[in-house]
Amino acid sequence: MADDKDIPTLYEWAGGQPTLERLTAVFYGHVLADPIVGPVFMHMPPDHPHHVAQFLAEVFGGPTAYSDARGGSPSGHATMLRHHLGRHLTPAQRTRWVQLLLESADEVGLPDDPEFRSAFVAYLEWGSRLALLNSQDGVAPSVDQSMPRWGWGEVGGPYRPPTT
């Protein structure tokens, strides 16, 4: 059995910051052109994809640049929660957002092994459902929640074929 220090983070397995930057750049290009989610993002600042790449990096075990720029954790998570307040996202928009992100992951060559994709999809489903809930009227999310840290889950890391 591999020692925990030998198991890469999801951030490392994905390819690090350069890969996440490519992912979010491609993804938001598709988002802006999409009739379902495009209207939600039509006024996003040009650096939005970069900030999302930083957020994903931190969630997946990489550098804490997103939170550091916002006063440390839990401030980074609170900032992300606040971005969704009052947006009135729909289930169809949430579903389309996840779909476009998964298509973008394929397009930029994010690892497609089942363990990584299972963890990646689990976070996208969880995070997008949290965004949907927090976008509705009358919601006041707790802003003292820690930044989520997403890992491999129960499987303990990526599958590695036995060596002979």
CA distances from 139 to 10, 88, 103 (A): 31, 11, 31
- Cα-Cα-Cα-Cα torsion 34, 81, 146, 5, nearest 10 degrees, comes to 10
What distance in Å separates the CA atoms of residue 155 and residue 142, rounded to the nearest whole number?
Answer: 30
pLDDT value of residue 1:
47
pLDDT tens-digit map of 90-109: 999 999 999 999 999 999 99
76 versus 48: which is more confidently predicted?
48
- pTM (two decimals): 0.85
The full set of domain ranges for the chain reads 8-138+145-150
CATH class of the domain defined by 8-138+145-150 = mainly alpha
Mean pLDDT across the chain, nearest whole number? 86
pLDDT value of residue 2:
53
DSSP state of 62: S
pLDDT tens-digit map of 110-131: 999 999 999 999 999 988 988 8
What distance in Å separates the CA atoms of residue 161 and residue 146, rounded to the nearest whole number?
Answer: 35
**Backbone CA torsion sign across 43, 101, 96, 69:** negative
pLDDT value of residue 4:
67
DSSP state of 111: -
